[in-house]
Amino acid sequence: MGTNPVIELVSASRCIQCNLCVTACPTNVFDKVPGKPPTIARKSDCQTCFMCELYCPVDALYVAPNADESVPVDEAELVAAGLLGSYREDVGWGKGRKK
């Protein structure tokens, strides 16, 4: 069985509630929440296209790259490891980034 990455985190401390992840997601994984960050409402529908991560202008999303199923994540550990925004950085998306 191969690995299937899955969306694991919407960072409440980083999210600016632009809802770009909601509109970028082709499988409707997220729900808008008035006055709050979007919620991951249908995690099992995640196709791991990373579009949500790519379109997030503040690196507030994390897709676990090597998970067979949902895995617990700790935001502080992700930040310390430089993982929030790492996919966007790797592909050169975002202001001042290059491939």
- Give the pLDDT of residue 1: 41
All structural domains of the chain, each given as residue ranges with its CATH number in brackets, are: 6-91 (3.30.70.20)
- Give the pLDDT of residue 5: 67
Mean pLDDT value of segment 36-49: 92
**Rounded Cα gap, residues 25 and 21, in angstroms:** 6
pLDDT, one tens digit per residue, over 44-84 is 899 889 999 999 999 999 988 776 667 788 999 999 998 88
Q: Which of 46, 33, 39 is nearest to 6 (CA)?
A: 46
